[in-house]
Amino acid sequence: MAKMTDGADQENVTTPSDTIVLFDVDGTLTKPRLSIEPPMMTTLKKLRQKVNIGVVGGSDLPKQKEQLGPTTLQMFDYNFAENGVVAYEDSEWKSSTWKQFVMHEMRRKSDCIAEDAM
């Protein structure tokens, strides 16, 4: 479960789902090379109440912060910058590639399922 703060109202939202919805930055969350608009922020905030959300972009983290705002790591449960080369979860750096990160999470969850079955 993750908590979201959008930087403005510091409202915490607990996400009760194991589902992750990933978004691209340019052309999806923002118009190419422009900043995110308030209606999109509101939509993401509402969606995050139901599922975990993440962003995947080709740019480095400083460029993502220019487009998504300075609290981008807090806005998303997962952030994959530089075409997935850099991964963050709950604002913390986790892996040097998205593949390593996802594989680690899959192993961790399957271990938990196996322990529950015993």
Instruction: Cite the active site residues.
Output: 24, 26
Distance, CA of 55 to CA of 73 (rounded, Å): 9
Residues 6+ apart with CB under 8 A from 95: 86, 87, 101, 104
